[in-house]
Structure 1
Amino acid sequence: MTAQVARKLRSDARDNRDRILDVAREAFAAEGLDVPIREIARRAQVGAATVYRRFPTKEALLAAAFAEQMALCITIVDEGLATADPWRGFRLVVERLMEAHALDRGFARALLSQYPRVFDLAEHRDRTLRGLVELMRRAKEAGGLRKDVVLEDVVLALMANEGIRAESRGTRVAASRRFAALMIQSFHAEPVPAPLPPAVRLPLPGNG
């Protein structure tokens, strides 16, 4: 095998892998995490065997598809922990996590589903949640966060945020920012009404 042929094969393999991951992310975002591997292979225009060679299990495919987004979540929480004012750090974390989820609904579903319990995202998710718990503790001690707010309340807000339905990414982000502002006000120990980001028009249930 010549060096040129070898390079071509490696390039084709990278292209196939990138296409598989792109298709998987789109499918998981639009249809949930139960889209079969064979269907992802069909949409990526490769054989199922090609997918399985690179990702032996569904869990391995999910982990690879969302590795970058999971790293972003860790970075967001770490930056919140590094903020001098814990309440401000908490606010920034909620805002940025919700925006990240609005931009990638497939990732939000993966993060909030049962799948992370059994594949590589579990360790990263647990690290993110531990950091968030620590940030909440600091924000409570500083008097910014309500004493009765628990991690499950933040998770509930993230789950509700995942339910935002809009065709364009820009509209989803705008709606997410307004929702985040509402949630943050409800989490504050001494809530003071503040102007909300602009409202956006979203499809009502039953209207598409």
Structure 2
Amino acid sequence: MDAVDRLLTSETGRAPRADARRNVERLVAAARGAVAEVGVDVTAHEIARRAGVGIGTFYRRVPSREALLAAVLAELLDEMLVIARRAVDDPDPWRGFTGFATAYARLRAASCGLNAALGGECGLALDPQLARVREHIRLLVGHAKEAGVLREDVTWEDVAFLLASVTTADRTLGLPAGDEQWRRNLRIVLDGLRAGRTEPPEESAAGRRG
């Protein structure tokens, strides 16, 4: 179920008016952008402004700011789970693992709010979605270890923390992080996780060729 349908679900089961649905769609799109840029502390007034509606319309169309944010973040986590299921089904365990790791890190880097939700810092009701993400990481790690492509001494909990560490702060030690810093971090992490790795990371090898 997407964020719009989550918010429009009612006990009566009646279909909403077309204009009501359009307003909810605008609010969801605005909230998704605001959550990515500002985070989960974004105000209802800011979301309404981005959606081009008044604050009165905001509260007529969604139960609360928290309900809107929870619906948007649940939708993002559901998208992540679709990627995770495909990764689990990949016949190449390392490709599945690295494909999910890349998508996971990219989504975290792109959304302040999602990053907070995955860190359990947003205070919204997302436990079912977070539990499913944890389960799929556990499955991916198990498959990779069974195939002998992931280090045996690494646990799925280690992987969860390592993938979280890939997304950096904007600055460290006075150094600004580039938009693609997370990709370099991820390459280094994956290189350290792979079993029996003897070749240098791809980027380093390419750099030497240049």
TM-score class, shorter-chain normalisation, is: 0.7 to 0.9
In structure 1, the partner of 2:73 is 66
Identity %: 35
Letter in 2 for 1:137: G
2:10 match: none
* Residue type at the aligned position of 1:53: R
Q: Equivalent residue for 1:175? A: 181
Whether the 8 Å CA contact 1:90–1:136 is kept in 2: the answer is: yes
Q: Distance in 1 between matches of 2:27 and 2:127?
A: 22
Say whether the 8 Å CA contact 2:39–2:111 is kept in structure 1. Answer: no
Residue aligning to 1:205:
none
1:102 corresponds to 2:132: no
Runs of 4+ more than 4 Å apart: none
Gaps of 5+ in 2: 1-15, 172-177
Looking at structure 2, the residues matched to 158 and 61 of structure 1 have their Cα atoms a distance apart, in angstroms, of 27
The answer to whether the aligner puts 1:15 opposite 2:15 as a matched pair is: no
SS at match of 1:177: helix
Question: 1: CA distance between counterparts of 2:115 and 2:49?
Answer: 24
Alignment of 1:16-165 (within 5 A): 16-115=23-122, 118-119=124-125, 121-163=126-168, 165=170
Q: Deviations over 1:74-101 (max 9, x none)?
A: 1111111112232332122111211233
The CA deviation at 1:165 is 4.5
Distance 2:167 2:185 in 1: 11
**TM-score scaled by structure 1?**
0.72
The secondary structure found in structure 1 opposite 2:197 is coil
Distance 1:158 1:164, change over 3 A: farther
Q: Distance in 1 between matches of 2:63 and 2:154?
A: 41
Report the residue type matching 1:122 in the other structure: D
Instruction: Read off the aligned partner of 1:151 and give its amino acid letter.
Output: W
Structure 1 residue aligned with 2:192: 186
Task: Kindly state the Cα deviation for residue 189 of structure 1 after the two structures are TM-superposed.
Answer: 2.4
Gapped regions of structure 1 (runs ≥ 5): 1-8, 200-208
The one-character-per-residue Cα deviations of 1:46-67 (angstroms, maximum 9, x if unpaired) are 3334223333233321232234
Aligned length in residues: 184
Q: 1:47 to 1:91 in 2, by over 3 A?
A: same
Distance (whole Å) between structure 2 residues aligned to residue 77 and residue 19 of structure 1: 28
Deviating more after overlay: 49-58 vs 127-136: 49-58
Cα root mean square deviation, aligned? 2.9
Q: Structure 2-normalised TM-score?
A: 0.72
Contact 1:164/1:176 (CA < 8 Å) preserved in 2? no
**Cα distance in 1, alignment partners of residues 167 and 30 from structure 2:** 20
